[in-house]
Amino acid sequence: MRVTQAKKLLAMGMSIADVAAETGFSDQSHLHRYFKRIVGVTPGQYVRGFENRIIA
């Protein structure tokens, strides 16, 4: 559930560090590990994918 919420916040443009704190992860690297395990890409890659879709 936290990763799902993190995806929503990242899509809204919130920084990765702020998303980690907001969703209850101990730090950015903790979010990174779980996010990559569940989503298949890092939070940064996820954000860049969103940016590319908006521009294109």
50 lies in which domain range?
2-55
d(CA 12, CA 26): 21
State residue 56's pLDDT score: 46
Q: In the structure, what pLDDT confidence band is assigned to residue 49 with cuts at 50, 70 and 90?
A: confident
Q: In the structure, what pLDDT confidence band is assigned to residue 26 with cuts at 50, 70 and 90?
A: very high
Torsion sign (Cα): 49, 47, 13, 25: positive
Q: What average pLDDT score do residues 15-32 get?
A: 96
Q: What is the pLDDT of residues 3-21, one digit of tens each?
A: 999 999 999 999 999 999 9
Q: How many domains are contained in the chain?
A: 1
d(CA 47, CA 14): 10
* Amino acid sitting at position 39: V
Q: What CATH number is attached to the domain comprising 12?
A: 1.10.10.60
